[in-house]
Structure formats: C-alpha cells, structure tokens
Amino acid sequence: MSQTVESILDRAGTSHFQRRLLGIFGLVWAADAMQVLAVGFTGASIAASFGVSLPEALQTGTLFFLGMLIGASLFGRLADRFGRRRVLLITVACDAIFGLLSVFAPNLLVLFLLRFLTGVAVGGTLPVDYAMMAEFLPAKNRGRWLVMLEGFWAIGTVVVALAAWAASLYVTNDAWRWIFAVTALPALIGIWLRFWVPESPLYLERTGQTKELRSTLNLVLRTNGKPELGDTEIIQSRPAVAGAGIFSPLLPRRTVLILLVWFLVSISYYGIFTWLPARLADQGFGYVRGYGFLVIVALAQIPGYALAAWGVEAIGRKPTLIAFLLLSTLGCALFLVASDAILTGAAILLMSFALLGTWGALYAFTPELFPTASRGTGMGAAGSMARLGGLLAPSALAIVFAQDFSIAIALFAGLLALAAGAAWFVDAETRQLALT
C-alpha cells in the first residue's frame, strides 16, 4: 500500500509530538520577541549609560534589524539547501551566545556589534521555525497551530514588558543589561531542547532520504500513540515541483504582494511599538502611562491571536488577514481622534490586539504559499521584508515622530490600509490545502 507524506501526517494527527514541537519552537519564538521589543524598552537606559541621545541609542535597534534582514535571507536559503534542522541549531545557538554577550558590552561600539550579530541569528530563526512547523502539521488544522506558535510572541512581549517594569523600579544604573539578560535566557534553554527536533519530513522527501523519512514519520506516529508504518506500506514520493523558486512563473504575483504586506505591516508595527513604550512611560497621561499600562497593552495581544487562530480555519487565511489589517487601521484612526485618556487607551489596546492578530494570520498564510523546495527561501524573503520595515522604523521615521506623533500614526493607518488592499489581490487561499 502506498501513502503520501501528507496522508501519513493526517493519520498521525496533532497530539503529543506537535505539542512538544510547539513548546520548543515557542520558547525561542518568545525569546525572539523579547530580543526585538527590547529595542524600545532599553533605548532610554542605553542613552543614559553612554551619554548619548535617545535616537542615537535606538541605533542598537537599527543594527539589530539590519542583522535580522541579512539573517532571514541567508538562513532561509540555507535551510532549503542543507536542511531545516542544521540551520535551526546554528541560529538558536548564536541567538543565545550573542544575546548573552550583549549584557557585558563595555562600550556603545561593542554593544552595536553584538546587537547586530544577535539580529542575524534571530532573523535566521524565522524562516526555519515556520517552514519546519508547517511541514509537521496536517492540512486540516495547520493554520491554527501556526497561529498558536506566533502566539508565543505575545508571551515574550509580556515578559519583556514585566522585565523592563521591574528594572525601572529596582535597577538604578544600566537597566538595559538586566533586560538583555532576561531576553537571552529562553534561547539558552532552547539550544538543548532543539536537539530533540528531527529533520522535516517534506525536506527529507524532497531530497530523497527515504530511510530517514520513514524513521521521522514513525517517530511522529509513535509519539502520537498511532501505529507505525508497516513493512508493506510504501511512502509515495511526489515529483519535485519544476521551477519552484519564489519568482518562478506561477508565483511572481503572490510573492510580490505577500512581501509587500510583510513590509507594510512590519514598518507600522515596529514604528508604533519602538516609540510607544518610551512615550507612554514618560509622557503619557491619566492611566495611559507607565510600564503597568504597557503590560496591559502586551496582554491585549493574546485575544488577538486567539481570534486569528479561529479565523484562519473557520473563514480562511486571506479573509482573516484582511479583516485584522482593517481593524488595525481603525485602531490607528481612533488614536488620531481620541480626545481623552479613555479613548486613547482603547485605541492603543485595539492596535495591539489587531496588529498581533494580523501577524498571526500572516504567519499562517505565508509558508503555505510556497512549495517545499523554496518554503525556507520564501519565509526568509518575508522575514527580510519585515526586518527592512523594522530597520526603517526606529531611524528613518525618527524625524516624523519628532515632528508630530499623530502624523506618524496617520501614516501607519494609511500603510495598513494599503496592506489590506495588497492582501486582497493575493491569488490564493490555502485553507486545508496540502503542502506541495
């Protein structure tokens, strides 16, 4: 009897194996969120430690995102060529090492270098994590599980907000060192856990590693309490997709449009959440002030992910993505017209809720748009677009923020509406489709 890899994964279902995989990937994904968002939480402390201005201190973020841009593109391609698992181990080890070394940076120049190298490593985890997680999941609930993985970003956001709050209360000098120490810890733990993760079955199938493929599928079946493959069961290898590059004849439209969405969402998200923490901590008013409110903003992300996890399976990836983009636009618009603390707080909470729901839908949708031969490359390109947005947010937009914070928010509202339009024209809906 002959079966495809997809049908065997359907038979295995989603149980102990996928939950373990989710925990391992999720731990480091939370660490990545902490590393990324630490840019906004450490800027003021770094400026005070080294006697520079806040925009100069935020260049740690510029270099971090530059590193992420390079890492996403580089490691995505390497994952398609040499396998997901090898790249997985390299990126998380570098994430932990350079992240921890950042704590001990003796001067600003060394800190810049270490944050750049940490960014390269963190950027490399994105294409590998999502390509690999997608390739261990059956089609019927793949989207929900991918949104659940992205949900660990919210956990990392809450933790780094709490760490920054504690540092502001109890650490008088160099609070950024303590925040970076907290952000490095999950990645250090994740190094050892990731040795347990086997190679992706779809990568093994594509590269003709039949023995290893059978062993991996049996591990998934056995861990989920299902009978292993019998001696007479043959794994049917599908023919390789011809011209499977991300700009091959069948893919240019969806590639260009989805990369545009990634760029527009990222420059809006990082633009808002790079500058908002420092602004609310120092210049907020009423209850919309300080780290306590920032923790509430972080918690507002969790129901956004929950709704996205329901939406991608119930109504589809593309409709859910568009709906959250429009809701994010509405949150920005509400902020612009808010005249008191209640409306301002509601607008910020809506932006946090909707933007993270947007990310959840985007991460569920994107890896399914590319074939196995270029999934890592596609996710790497998406990650590069996201990091380009993050790179521009703290530096290029500094002038806009300095002139008028409201003008910057209005700009983001327009960019998010444009992203919704781009998503509308993506020529695919991947709900419950098998990966090619």
Domain layout of the chain by residue ranges: 2-234+246-424
SS3 content of the chain, % helix, strand, coil (to 5): 80, 0, 20
Paired strand residues for 4: 236
Pairing label, strands 234-236, 2-4: parallel
Per-residue model confidence (pLDDT) at position 161: 81
- The SS3 assignment for 192 reads helix
A 10 A CB-CB count for 402 gives: 11
Distances (CA, A) of 300 to 17, 357, 391, 416: 29, 10, 25, 19
Angle between helices 290-299 and 301-314 (to 10 degrees): 10
Q: Where are the beta strands (DSSP E) in 138-274?
A: 234-236
Residuewise pLDDT in 10s, the chain (436 residues): 677 888 888 888 888 999 999 998 888 888 888 888 787 778 778 888 888 887 788 788 888 888 988 888 888 888 888 888 888 888 888 988 998 999 999 999 999 999 999 999 988 887 788 888 888 988 888 888 888 888 888 888 888 888 888 887 887 788 889 988 888 888 888 788 888 889 988 888 888 888 898 899 889 999 998 888 877 767 766 655 545 567 666 777 888 999 999 999 988 887 777 666 556 555 555 545 556 676 777 788 888 888 998 999 889 999 999 999 999 999 988 888 877 777 877 888 898 899 989 988 998 888 888 887 788 888 888 888 887 887 776 566 666 666 666 777 788 899 999 999 999 999 888 887 777 6
In the structure encoding, which two tokens stand for residue 410, read together?
A: 């209005």
Q: Would you state the pLDDT for residue 114?
A: 94
Residues 40 and 33: their CA atoms lie apart, in Å, by 12
CATH class of 2-234+246-424: mainly alpha
Q: How far apart are CA 334 and CA 328, in angstroms?
A: 10
- Look at residue 3 and give its three-state secondary structure: strand
Nearest-angstrom CA–CA distance, 405 and 356: 21
Enumerate helices (H) and strands (E) in the chain, giving the number of each.
Answer: 18, 2
Return the structure tokens found at 115: 């944050």
- What pLDDT was estimated at residue 275? 62
Identity of residue 15: S
